[in-house]
Every structure is written in C-alpha cells, then in structure tokens.
Structure 1
Amino acid sequence: MTEINLTPRAAKRINEIMGAEPPGSSLRISVNGGGCSGFSYAFDIARDRAEQDVAIERDGATVIIDPVSLEYMAGSTIDFVNDLIGQSFKIENPQATASCGCGTSFSI
C-alpha cells in the first residue's frame, strides 16, 4: 500500500468537522481531472465506503481515498493550515510538478 500521511492538525480538524456529522462519517479525498493545472482535489463527507477504498486513520480521524486517486496521491501529506487566505486542507504531493495558487489544483 502507498503511504499517505495525515498530520495531527489535519486529524484534529477532521474530528471537529465529523462531530457535526452522523456517526461513521469520514472525510473523502479524491483526485478529479480538470482544475487550473490539470487535476484537482475534491473533499467530501462520506457516509459509506467501497470495498476498494483505502482508509487513513490518525487520532480518531479517518480519511477515505479511492484506489485511482491513491495512485495520484502516493507519498502525500495531508495537513490543515490557517494562513492569510484562510483555513484549508493542504496536500503536499511529491508527484506534483506544478500547482495552482488555489492549492487544490496540480499537474503531474
């Protein structure tokens, strides 16, 4: 399995978000075609998971990633940042050769 890292800050924020969701909900991250740089990340609340999905867990927080997206995200670190443009999840992807200023779009 390809390792994806979830930082303590990201886990804390995911737990805060899931506190308002039905029990068993998780954060789903997927990679879609499109966006400023060719691919974009999508963040959704998942109430179910497919058999092939990979679950990344830390400190009680769970992130679900489908197998195709996992290939594009191999070796990534998922963090939560609070900077001048606001709060957001940030994915540091070692496979990305370029990214957009929005932080959710990248190319390989």
Structure 2
Amino acid sequence: MTSTDLTLSPAAARRLHDLGAAEGRPLMLRVAVEGGGCSGFQYQFDLVDEAQPDDLRIERDGAAALVDEMSLVLLKGSEIDYVDELAGAEFKVRNPNAKSSCGCGVSFSI
C-alpha cells in the first residue's frame, strides 16, 4: 500500500541505497511513532528487509520507507530526511504536526 501523506527526501533515499549497497541487499527504513520520550511521542527507526502486510510504503528513487497506519496519523504531511551534521548523521522526521520537540529531536508533542 502506498501513501502520499508522507514523503522521503532525496538525501534519505540516497542513504538507504548506500546502506543497502554496503549490506549487499536492499534495505527499507521502518518509521514508527511510539508513546514516550520527554515530549510525549518518540520516533523509532529500523532498517528491515521486508514489509509487513499492513505497512504503508513511501518510495523515492527506488528507495522505500515503511510506516504503520497508526503512526501515519501522527506523521501526516511529514518528510523523512537524512542529515549529516557536525553533531552526527541520522534519519530525521520533519513533522509539521509537532507543536514542540525535545532538544535531541527524537521526541515531540502534538
């Protein structure tokens, strides 16, 4: 299943291709929202080989991210990005629904 409510940035797609090439197999990024963190919700990122039957698939340039339907409600309109900064490199969610987030950027509130 696919959805246009969530997008994958070109940088995130490139990083997924690079990670898959290093592993010698295609990898997908699973993004989920869970309760917890210092702001109420937190993002969970995992690299996986295959989708679950109820996953929504977001694609760009042959790379894919997977999101469950419950998480998609909190991620609607967001972009999954990959940033490489002085403080470190990581996947990030740019979520327009987040009213506030913690300093680490992993947890947020709505």
After TM superposition, the score normalised by the length of structure 1 is 0.90
Q: Which runs of 4+ in 1 moved over 4 A?
A: none
SS state of the match for residue 22, structure 2? coil
Deviations along 1:38-92, one digit per CA (max 9) or x if unpaired, are: 1111111222322221000111111010101111100001111122211111211
Q: Which residue of 2 aligns with 1:87?
A: 89
Question: Which of 84, 106, 109 is 1:107 aligned to?
Answer: 109
After TM superposition, the score normalised by the length of structure 2 is 0.89
SS state of the match for residue 12, structure 2? helix
CA distance in 2, matches of 1:30, 1:22: 25
The Cα RMSD (Å) is: 1.5
What are the ranges of 5 or more consecutive residues in structure 2 without an aligned counterpart? none
1:74 aligns with 2:71: no
C-alpha distance 65-21 of structure 1, shift in aligned 2 (>3 A): farther
Q: Which residue of 1 aligns with 2:13?
A: 11
1:46 aligns with 2:48: yes
Contact preservation (8 Å) 1:2, 1:70: no
What are the ranges of 5 or more consecutive residues in structure 1 without an aligned counterpart? none
* Structure 1 stretch displaced more, 97-106 or 44-53: 44-53
CA distance in 1, matches of 2:83, 2:67: 20
Identity %: 48
CA distance in 2, matches of 1:45, 1:89: 11
Contact preservation (8 Å) 1:79, 1:91: yes
CA distance in 2, matches of 1:48, 1:11: 16
SS state of the match for residue 48, structure 1? coil
